[in-house]
């Protein structure tokens, strides 16, 4: 069987990827980022942890603005 090489400009490939279903996009990411599942698990853990810390402090994470979230995290990082 003969092989055919198709030359597609990168911007077109990017646009095609954008049109994929969420499952297709995830498959592309898994190819590009081999440890995506581990990364996602870490993100999930971090999300659970920050929410738990907020509950301990009587803070509702979901109502904080992005600026307030950054300030909170900065404060947590600098606690002794």
Please report which confidence band the pLDDT of residue 36 belongs to, taking 50, 70 and 90 as the band edges.
confident
Closest-CA residue to 36 (of 51, 46, 44): 44
Phi, psi angle pair for 57, to nearest 5°: -100, 5
- Taking residues 19-36, report their average pLDDT: 90
- Taking residues 4-21, report their average pLDDT: 95
State how far the Cα of 12 lies from the Cα of 18, in Å rounded to an integer.
Answer: 10
Q: Is the pLDDT of residue 80 over 60?
A: no
pTM here is 0.57
């Amino acid at each position: 069987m003969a092989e055919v090489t198709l030359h597609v400009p990168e911007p077109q490939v990017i646009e095609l990827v954008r049109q994929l279903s969420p499952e297709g996009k995830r498959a592309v990411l898994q190819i590009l980022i081999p440890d995506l599942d581990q990364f996602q698990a870490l993100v999930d853990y971090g999300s659970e942890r920050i929410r738990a810390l907020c509950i301990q402090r009587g803070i509702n994470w979901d109502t904080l603005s992005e600026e307030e979230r950054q300030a909170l995290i900065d404060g947590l990082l600098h606690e002794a």
